[in-house]
Amino acid sequence: MSWIREGELNLLERFAANVLKAGPMPRHVAFIMDGNRRYARKNKVERQEGHSQGFNKLAETLRWCLNLDIKEVTVYAFSIENFKRSKEEVDGLMELAKQKFYRLLEEQQNLEKHGVCIRVLGDMTLLPYDLQQVIAQAVVATRNHNKCFLNVCFAYTSRHEIANAVKEMAWGVEQGLIKSSDVSEALLSQCLYSSNSPNPDLLIRTSGEVRLSDFLLWQTSYSCLAFQSVLWPEYSFWNLCEAILQYQFSYRSLQKARELHKEEQAQQQLESDRVCVAQLVQHGGNGKPMDAHNRQKALNNYTTSREERVHNFLAALQSKRDNFFHKLSQTALT
């Protein structure tokens, strides 16, 4: 079963898609693909069969998303907590992932045609080494594609991701790239695994569970949440439409909440810059109070230098991450 499915929507589906597209559409949708095991139990098939049916559904859903002009999809494939499952099931899932990523490498041309960029978010070091290698190969091979994006969260939890972001910032401090006072909400967002994606507009969880289970907690603060009762392998185009309708319904209020949040964030940044300037003046100044004009100038100078530091640090972080994948994929080739 391949990653990209060819095929068009039927007439009725196309009509529904066009109607939906008359309203605001989500650009980025995240999925918690829950219910594979319950599906297997219900249909009396092997658990592993449930998981591979789930993967097939993912390929189908990606096609629907493309047809609906949704350019970015993030999926929760494997949580760090899932390592607690039976060894047999974990091994089965790792094997399935390995197969699918090999398959992906074989389909490179197809991916290039559609311009699909694959990213894997999570703590790769927790995975078996051969899986790490093939993932790295897939990531490196598709890194320059930019028409649509698929983020696969593998060995991921949101708390782990946030803690890792803090760790990266601390690394930046150790390297002398940034100061601890440069730490801000915006910077933390950019240190997350998902730094290259906009926040999801819509998060869909299937199988009727109504929690986030440690998935994109930071990123979905102002996203629309759609909890649907259908099991993931039974997910249909119409379920997706229903979720989008829900998003459109909340769209205006969400937009307002986001703007309010953005203003607050800017306000906090300004406040923190002011405090830093005041401290600098206290330490380095000659004790004379500054007039309003000079104070503004000092603030502007400080902001520029902070932005420069942050910019350099983020560039260093990105190249550190790129190198990690690059080296891994190199070892796979030799």
Partner 1 sequence: MALVFQIVWRILHALLHVQRTLISWLRGHLWRWNGQLWNRAFAALLVPLALSFSNHKTMSPTTDKRVCRRLRWGADGRSLEKLPVHVGLLISEEPRYTDIANLVVWCMAVGISYVSVYDNQGVFRRNNSRLMDEILRQQKELLELEGSKYPLEFLNNVTDRQDCQVFSNQTTVKVLSPEDGRPSIVRAAQQLCEAVEQKETTSKDISVSVLDSLLRESKPIPDPDLVLKFGPVESTLGFLPWHIRLTEFISLPSHIDISYEDLLGALQRYAVCEQRLGK
Q: Which residues bind partner 1 (CB under 8 A)?
A: 18-23, 79-85, 157-160, 162-163, 165-171, 173-174, 179-181, 183-185, 188, 209-214, 217-218, 220-227, 245-246, 248-250, 253-254, 257, 260-261, 264, 268
Shortest distance, CB of residue 263 to partner 1, whole angstroms? Answer: 11
CB atoms within 10 A of CB 111: 22
Which of 72, 22, 96, 47 is closest to 196 using CA atoms? 72
- What's the chain's Rg over C-alpha atoms? 23
Q: Which is nearer to partner 1, 263 or 307 (CB)?
A: 263
Q: Which is nearer to partner 1, 20 or 281 (CB)?
A: 20
3-state SS, 21-74, equals HCCCCCCEEEEECCCHHHHHHHCCCCHHHHHHHHHHHHHHHHHHHHHCCCCEEE
Q: Which is nearer to partner 1, 110 or 246 (CB)?
A: 246
Shortest distance, CB of residue 179 to partner 1, whole angstroms? Answer: 7
Shortest distance, CB of residue 225 to partner 1, whole angstroms? Answer: 5
Q: Please report, to the nearest 10 degrees, the dihedral formed by the alpha carbons of residues 199, 204, 205, 211 taken in order.
A: 50
Q: Which is nearer to partner 1, 16 or 62 (CB)?
A: 16
CB atoms within 10 A of CB 301: 12
Q: Which is nearer to partner 1, 119 or 205 (CB)?
A: 205
DSSP state of 211: S
Shortest distance, CB of residue 281 to partner 1, whole angstroms? Answer: 20
Q: Residue 130 class from Cβ within 10 Å (0-12 exposed, 13-18 middle, 19+ buried)?
A: exposed
Shortest distance, CB of residue 251 to partner 1, whole angstroms? Answer: 10
